[in-house]
Structure 1
Amino acid sequence: MSVTLNITKTKVAILELSRPEKHNAFDSHVINELIQCIEHANSLDIRALVLKTEGKHFSAGADLGWMKSMAGNNYDENVADSEQLAKLMHVLATSPHPTLCLVQGAAFGGALGLIACCDIAVATSNSKFCLSEVKLGLIPAVISPYVIKAIGERQARRYFLTAEVFMADKALDMGLIHEINDELTAAQDQFVELLLNNGPAAVKSAKSLINEVANQDIDAELILHTAKRIAEIRVSEEGQEGLTAFFDKRAPNWQTAAKQ
């Protein structure tokens, strides 16, 4: 197994790709392992999902040996392979849990899709990124919906077409990552603590709210929908506990449980 999934006592799922000898490149087997682990994590009662990799580099993207074998496949076989990669991106992007991606070293090709699919992404200062597909006569098709959402159409028009390498500061500027931190373990602890301080149901509801509201016109239907969403959570058990704890000047019960 190249992929492991471990659940901490604070109900955080740590998903790690360990294929450093291949620069954590993924082939059909790795993709299937990632899908299975993410789908399992999505079904669990956890507080967050952390995606990380072992070794010097985050991921070189698609494994060259796998790509060579796919080149000999016919069109229908290539569609089937690509659909699995698309499924991987989808199950990660639609996870009900908050997701955190930790990036070190190089992140090329499809690896940018994994980063863009996560809610929060942190990279080291020496991390470098590349949408390298056109150098091979290919296109970043499957990851494009997620990467374009993260960096915007204007940046995609440059980096999809030039396949140039860019560093962490540029990735930060364009919105692919949220923070640069050379201590990824400390960054993981920081963001996990922030997430655990918040209402578990509220965090999941806030995430689903983003998916519902993003790119929608602000019309009467959307206004009513958001009004109903806040009303629902105010009268929920967690919402009542959060408000009561605030006015009582005490920690809410989920913070107490997270520290046990």
Structure 2
Amino acid sequence: MEFIEVRRDGRGVAEIRLCRADKHNALSAQMMTELEAAARGLAAEDAVRVVVLSAEGRSFCAGGDLAWMREQFDMDRATRRVESARIATALGALYALPQPLIGRVQGNAFGGGLGLISVCDVAVAVDIAKFGLTEVKLGLIPANIGPYVVHRMGARNAQEVFMNARLFGADEAVRLGLVNRVAGADALDEAVEAEVTPYLSCAPGAVRDAKALLRRLAGEVAPEAVEGAVDALAERWETTEARTGIAAFFDKRPAPWA
């Protein structure tokens, strides 16, 4: 893999690492394909007891790669729908991991980056991180990530940030239910390890079964919700606002609604 690295240690802890630091770990088509493959591979490994999702560089994930998004303008609607659904597929594979998934958020996360955090069972963020669902500034909507974000945060909390592109800090991310804990940069690894260690004293099969039961009791993200969100984004891509917003971004000028 080029943009995703998978590491394993002798304790049964695996790490999925985003390795596109020069692009702030923005999710390209290849990166999302690799991310899905990594998640599906680890799901099948009985020796893996806990998975950590991490990233290289200053940013955790800047969201969808806008160059990849711009290419979708030249596709017909059916092809564009398949292409844009890549992030929903990758998130679905992470969400379906039978092992606990711990997010190590060492930097800013926007758009699809919040989707990645939302599929984690526990997320620990550095105290200086900024977050935001910024899609509406571009004339788009946080659709493919939406089912997971709302499931994670709850509709009431999501209403505060889902449709206004407002940026918020790590402490507010805790209040909104996106992040579980906050740590300083020099204490982040220790905080993540504190989340990982307790699982290693538990029966691995029981942990997996407990996670599956929790999902059933709490209500899982339904496939029809994911499909409906993908459709909603496909419709939004057809609008003049979407084309205008993306074009303005690449031209480095304000969108007409700004």
Letter in 2 for 1:108: F
| Identity fraction in percent | 38
- The alpha-carbon deviation at position 34 of structure 1 amounts to 0.4
Change beyond 3 A, Cα 1:195–1:158: same
1:173 lines up with 2:183 in the alignment? no
- Who is 2:77 aligned against? 75
- Who is 1:185 aligned against? 189
- Who is 1:110 aligned against? 112
More deviation, 67-76/174-183: 67-76
> Segments of 4+ in structure 1 off by > 4 A?
none
- Who is 1:163 aligned against? 165
Partners of 2:206 and 2:176 lie apart in 1 by 28
Letter in 2 for 1:59: C
Counterpart of 1:13 in 2: which secondary structure?
strand
Q: TM-score, normalised by structure 1?
A: 0.81
- Who is 2:50 aligned against? 48
- Who is 1:231 aligned against? none
- Who is 2:204 aligned against? 200
Aligned residues: 216
Letter in 2 for 1:155: N
Partners of 1:199 and 1:27 lie apart in 2 by 37
Among candidates 124, 127, 131, match of residue 125 of structure 1: 127
Letter in 2 for 1:29: Q
1:34 lines up with 2:35 in the alignment? yes
- The alpha-carbon deviation at position 181 of structure 1 amounts to 1.1
- Flag structure 1 segments of 5+ consecutive residues without an equivalent: 217-260
- Structure 2 counterparts to residues 125-164 of structure 1, below 5 A: 125-164=127-166
CA deviation string 1:155-208 (max 9, x = no partner) = 222211111000000000111010001222112221221111222111111100
Partners of 1:201 and 1:215 lie apart in 2 by 21
More deviation, 38-47/81-90: 81-90
Partners of 1:207 and 1:41 lie apart in 2 by 16
- Who is 1:6 aligned against? 7
Contact 2:157 2:177 in 1 (8 A): no
Higher normalized contact order (CA 8 Å, seq sep 6+, divided by chain length): 2
Letter in 1 for 2:31: V
Tell me the C-alpha RMSD between the 2 structures. Answer: 1.2
- The alpha-carbon deviation at position 83 of structure 1 amounts to 2.4
| Larger Rg over CA atoms | 1
- The alpha-carbon deviation at position 215 of structure 1 amounts to 4.1
- The alpha-carbon deviation at position 20 of structure 1 amounts to 0.8
CA deviation string 1:85-115 (max 9, x = no partner) = 1111111111100000111221000110110
- Who is 1:86 aligned against? 88
Counterpart of 1:58 in 2: which secondary structure?
strand
Partners of 1:27 and 1:107 lie apart in 2 by 15
Q: TM-score, normalised by structure 2?
A: 0.81
Partners of 1:37 and 1:17 lie apart in 2 by 11
